[in-house]
Chains A and B, each alone.
Chain A
Amino acid sequence: MPENDDTQNLDDIFAAFTSSGPLATPAGAAAAQHVARRRRTTRFVAAGVLAVAILAATPAIASTWTNQDPPVLPANTPTPTLTTPAPSSSPTPSASPTPSATPSTPPPDGQIGKTELGDATLELPAWPDYLKEHCPAGRVKFSDGTAQLAPNSELRIKITEVIHADFDRDGAKETAALINCSGIEMGESRVLAFDRDSSDNIVTMGLVTGHTDDIAWVSKIRAKGTAVDVEVVDAVGEGIVEGFAQSQWRTYSWSGKGFVQSGGPSAFPPNPRVTDLSISGDDVQLVPDGADTASGTLSLTVSNQGPQRATDPYLTVDLPGEVTITSLPAKCATSKTPSGTRYQCWLPALAVNADSVVDLPLSAPKSIFDGAQPGQWEAKIVWGFTGTDIGDGEGWPYPEPDGAEDDNSANGNVLLAP
């Protein structure tokens, strides 16, 4: 776009900008594919810790509660005082509630259907900091079960499940809803309880649970007596991989002030698919072994820092140019890459705190070193990997413990000995 003004040399400046060397070392197509595959089955990255925010109970609920006996937790555990069956009681605790003191007015009906809840204005506790820009809180108007900060927001709030139970034992059921705010890969899920006040307005009782401690996602809810059962999923590595995460049902009950866990396990056991593998190795010196070739050994140390036995460690080694491995371990596949050769091998199982050394004999034509920069080897170790590394999208390496992935790859130079 030549112009007759002082902008003319811009063309030269842009030409120089685009014609000099590369700007950065690419992380590689495999890395991009890895992130994509992980997302496809994870969908949600568990990020950050939920700042627990429990809304204060409304005065209406609080005054109702003061008329009641204190809650017995866990709510569904029979207590000795119930040895004498109450007349006309049904087997289901919530089916025929018998308040110990009859309020002067009937308790508000807090049973709110999914459709009504999905078109109501609800008071929502704050979302964690990293979602504050994207997920509305405070008084939020829902429409058709969803709410957004703006029409083009990437994240939106959705009410996915609604159940009813008499949480506060006032003789009328309340409502618990599974609500998430999520986008393509990121989101939070939480369970909130709602009631109606004496003027029939929907009021928020409080947060039942969300992403606290080891809970990375809430997948389902169901009523259980006067409590709510919540199916929660553990955080595996930095995300939830379908089929890799563990799930549990945990029970939460109303204490009069907020919801507390009243049943079910309080923590996840160590995930059997997570262990901390690492790999290391040094530069390789290739020594001339004939007129035209040079050879040497790439020695890789693979370690398992635990806590699980790695049943099927999967090693990927990329070699530059014409450098090849002359004798491969038993189960290996070889493929060409744009810059050289890739070897993918399944190694024998590795016990906790064990390490093994993989010696790979290398050979290369001496000519490749003529005036060239030394090439680099790169190696990566994972386990639980059932597919190929390129293309088919099947198979999935097991995740590392959070923050333990850095040592799963290593690289070094391939040098010609002087």
Chain B
Amino acid sequence: MVRMHGPGDTREEPPPAVTEGAGGVSGVSGSFEEFYAATFQPLMLQLYAYTADIDHARDAVQEAFSRAWPRWNKLVHYDHPAAWIRTVAMNVARSRWRRLRAARAHARFRRDDIVEGPSPDRVALARALATLPEKQRRALVLFHVADLSITEIADQEGAATGTVKSWLHRGRAALAAALSDPGTEETDA
């Protein structure tokens, strides 16, 4: 079983918590562009929930796609290539230096956003999540936003399912408290 590195680990290659299937590519065709088009927005949401920062999220996701491209021939045969992208993107987002490097590499490709900024509800949730400990925040994002099962999260994080349940339980309680705290909701960055 492959394991995700701990928060302090900054190694380059996060082993993807996915299995290589012979041809079992579900919902993903062979085209990198189609894969990108289909997965960019869901990954943006997950990374925004994780970082509470649109720019960090966008750079991290774009950086992860950049790293996926040279390995695409291999990744395309994974059951869930998007899981690989998410893992890399979360690692990028977690390291300040990696964020800076990603921002530098991708800045010139940024589009003038025709999308409005995140809605107040989204901002409130992301900011409340940002107040949570790393493990709880990751677990909540993976469970509620990335829609992974507890077993999948446990595999990916290298933890027991009971531990993941505990993260989720405590995380939800802390999140509910943060959301009901007006100071958190209305904080202006």
Contact = CB atoms under 8 A, between A and B. Distances in A.
Interface of A is mostly: loop
A356 to B, nearest CB: 24
B45 A17 contact: yes
B83 interface: no
B33 A390 contact: yes
Interface in B112-147: 112-115, 118-119, 121-122, 125, 143-145
Interface in A99-153: 133-134, 152-153
A330 interface: no
Given A16-B121, A17-B49, A24-B113, A35 B10 contact: no
A133 B179 contact: no
A319 B36 CA distance: 18
B97 A33 contact: no
B147 to A, nearest CB: 8
Contacts of B62: 26-27, 31-32, 35
A26 B66 CA distance: 13
A45 to B, nearest CB: 8
Interface of B is mostly: helix
Nearest to A30: B33
Interface in A251-310: none
Contact of B113 (A18, A25, A133, A134): A25
Given A24-B115, A25-B111, A338-B33, A10 B175 contact: yes
Contacts of A332: none
A338 B36 CA distance: 10
Interface stretch (B16-24, B99-107, B154-162): B99-107
Nearest to A8: B176
A333 interface: no
B70 interface: yes
Given A35-B105, A40-B70, A13 B111 contact: no
Interface residues of A, number: 52
A87 interface: no
A374 to B, nearest CB: 11
Contact of B44 (A1, A22, A36): A22
Nearest to A27: B109
A390 B40 CA distance: 18
A17 B121 contact: yes
A391 to B, nearest CB: 7
Interface in A156-184: 183-184
Nearest to B180: A6
A1 B108 contact: no
Which among A7, A24, A25 has the highest number of chain B CB atoms within 10 Å?
A: A24
Given A33-B69, A39-B66, A47 B36 contact: no
A370 interface: no
Contact of B45 (A23, A152, A405): A23
Given A6-B176, A26-B41, 5 more contacts: A10-B175, A17-B125, A26-B111, A29-B35, A338-B37
29 contacts: A5-B173, A5-B176, A6-B180, A7-B172, A7-B175, A10-B176, A13-B179, A17-B45, A17-B122, A18-B144, A23-B118, A24-B44, A25-B115, A26-B41, A26-B111, A27-B62, A32-B65, A32-B68, A32-B69, A39-B66, A45-B105, A152-B11, A153-B10, A183-B12, A186-B101, A339-B37, A376-B114, A393-B70, A406-B108
Interface of A: 1, 3, 5-7, 10-11, 13-14, 16-18, 20-37, 39-40, 45, 47, 133-134, 152-154, 183-186, 337-339, 376, 390-391, 393, 405-406
Q: Which 6 A-B pairs have the closest CB atoms?
A: A31-B109, A29-B36, A32-B65, A14-B144, A27-B109, A25-B111
